[in-house]
Structure 1
Amino acid sequence: MRDKRFFQLSQGEWALVGVTMIWGTTFLIIRNALDVTGPLFFVGLRFGSAALALLAISLPILRGLTLHELFAGFLIGLSLLGGYALQSYGLVTISASKSAFITAFYVPAVPVLQWLFMRHRPSAMAWLGVGCALVGLILLAGPDGVSLGFGAGEMLTLLGAVACALEILFIGYFAGSVNVRRVTVVQVTVTSILSFSLMPIVGEPVPGFSWLLVCSACGLGVATALIQLVMNWAQKTISPTRATLIYAGEPVWAAIFGRMAGERLPLLSLVGGALVVAGVLISSARPRRGKKEKAAS
């Protein structure tokens, strides 16, 4: 059997790196759009645009949609909404740095949940990479982020981090047994419908017309369609833990693009970003093993 070299990334892993870069570029767009709309309306419009974009290329294959795929898409869509909505509402009462710090705990949550529910124990190198990435994300959050209380904002954000972990886990669990495009259509449609449905319950008003909102939501909708398709495809062959470490690079790319847009990048953030990248590389290192050992990351 041919041994893989250290730090070698597969085609699917490189695809996830590309997805994470796209996430990083969307941060500034989302932040500007939320000046003119509430979070639920924006999420609903963004994922609704993604659903329309996917429907345009997926109508012929939707005839084969199964109950299993509907169930998978519903669970993934529900966790998607939970991650976006809970984090947004947490930001009402806590700072962005605190939100980033708490949300970072989805990184160790994924391998723990993978071990508990999928009976797949991550390797020692994967755990080392998780630890390295978590420290990096904490440094990216900065000193203000780690000075936490125990209020409603913190609890909502923590639940949002759990929802993010569940999304990655659900994608990994169902990836090998569903049609990627059909499930992606279902999950983005569910996210959009549920988001709009929750607006009257939480009292979020419909915003006035804004070209900034329309262009941002539609542009991000197309990007979201691509991101969700790639995630569902790539996680057919990549474990949830490994995918999580790659996704953890999102704030690194956000910081890089933010710096290009004129934001200052503190030294601790640079160190944190380097640790996140190191975590991905460490987890991909596979020392020689005996014939009976299996890859667990």
Structure 2
Amino acid sequence: MMKKNRYFGDLMLFLAAFIWGTAFVAQVTGMDKIGPFTFNMARSIIAIICLGAYLIITKAKLPKDIGILLQGGLVCGFFIFMGTSLQQIGLQYTTAGKTGFITSFYILIIPFLTMFFLKHKIDLLTWISIVIGFIGLYLLAIPSLSDFSINKGDFIVFLGSFCWGGHILIIDYYSKKVSPVELSFLQFIVLTILSGICTFLFENETATMSNIFHSWKSIVYAGFLSSGIAYTLQMVGQKYTNPIVASLILSLEAVFAALAGYFILDEVMTSREFLGCSIVFLAIIFSQIPKDIFKKKYIEIKK
């Protein structure tokens, strides 16, 4: 039963990564006339409407310990606000490919956060999977070593990767205590409020209804699929999956973004990029190997 739950959780995370990867274009095109805070506020409102409708239709009831739900919503909302804001701001100064790669630094950050805050030990197999996955992401996103340079946007996105790492760990904690859908609903309320405040302070001139309507397709796509559905799938998936393995699966976002560009937008992918995709998939498969398989083999050989 536990193994089935784990596979179910992994599947939910896989679907979330797929949606995020294919929705990446919307995040870029959605900022043609509006700023990052306005875009995040608008897409969060769409997510709230979708999740709110689901909760009403399913007649969801408030949990007995509503304090934990509110606490989780506030903390998750703050971290997702910081992560999405830094990512959207960084996208204005760097490429989508580098953004995907640098954001995925959280696959290296999370193991250390897990060891430091949760006191969890990381087994060798997981470390190998992390390194393999990181190499694959590098080959996918960076054409050559000479093309890799650091600019202002890259540094901003890098700061955001710490927020994404924190977000994944926080979800790992709260998703096991409260309803994932209710938690997701609350985090988007917090995200909307914080993004709305920043929109008023920094983007008041461009945050007009005409400019927002100009980007409505990107906003609806990112709000309904990327926010409303994918983030909820992430919360459901992390209820059953180790946070480090979850970060590896979610890093497939960069792979799906590249493949979507190749198949849908007719973008060119080099053999190096295809190799990178294959290596990331290999890392995911490697991370799914039962941890006790080598112990069993060792015992059999010893006998």
User: How many Å separate the matches in 2 of 1:186 and 1:31?
Assistant: 25
1:155, CA displacement in angstroms? 3.0
- CA drift at 1:70: 1.0
Given that residues 46 and 223 in structure 2 are in contact (C-alpha distance below 8 angstroms), is that contact kept between their aligned partners in structure 1? yes
TM-score for the superposition, normalised by structure 1 = 0.87
**2:220 counterpart letter in structure 1:** C
The answer to whether the 8 A contact 2:98-2:141 is kept is yes
Contact 2:125/2:287 (8 A) holds in 1: yes
> What does residue 218 of structure 1 align with?
220
So what's the TM-score if we normalise by structure 2? 0.86
Distance 2:125 2:13 in 1: 19
Cα pair distance change 1:144/1:37, threshold 3 Å: farther
Contact 2:45 2:188 in 1 (8 A): yes
Q: Which residue of 2 aligns with 1:88?
A: 88
The residue number in structure 2 matching 1:228 is 231
**Per the alignment, in what secondary structure is the counterpart of residue 61 of structure 1?**
coil
Gapped runs of 5+ residues in structure 1?
A: 291-297
Number of aligned positions between the proteins: 285
Which residue in 1 is equivalent to 2:186? Answer: 186
- 1:236-272 per-position Cα deviation (integer Å, ceiling 9, x unaligned): 1101101111001111111111011111112221111
Mark the CA change 1:95 to 1:216 in structure 2 (over 3 Å): closer, same or farther: closer
| 1:155-178 alpha-carbon deviations (Å, 9 max, x no partner) | 322210101111111100112111
Give the SS at the match of 1:41: helix
Change (3 A) 1:252 1:53: same
Instruction: Pick closer, same or farther for the CA change 1:89–1:201 going to 2, 3 Å.
Output: same
* Structure 2 equivalent of residue 294 of structure 1: none
1:22 corresponds, among 19, 24, 44, to 19
Identity of aligned residues (%): 25
Specify which of 271, 275, 283 is matched with residue 271 of structure 1: 275
Alpha-carbon distance in 2 for matches of 1:3, 1:92: 43
Any idea what the Cα deviations from partners look like across 1:176-213, whole Å, max 9, x if unmatched?
11122221110111112111111233345304245552
Q: Give the structure with the larger helix fraction.
A: 2
SS at match of 2:215: helix
Equivalent of 1:38 in 32, 35, 41: 35
Q: CA deviation at 1:113?
A: 0.8
Tell me how far apart the structure 1 counterparts of residues 282 and 40 of structure 2 sit (CA, whole Å).
32
Structure 1 position 55, deviation (Å): 1.1
* Runs of 4+ off more than 6 Å: none
Residue 241 (structure 1) aligned to one of 235, 240, 244: 244
Inter-CA distance 29–98: structure 2 relative to 1 (3 Å threshold): closer
The one-character-per-residue Cα deviations of 1:34-66 (angstroms, maximum 9, x if unpaired) are 223221111111111101111112244354471
C-alpha distance in structure 2 between counterparts of 1:84 and 1:148, whole Å: 22
Gaps of 5+ in 2: 297-303
Partner of 2:300: none
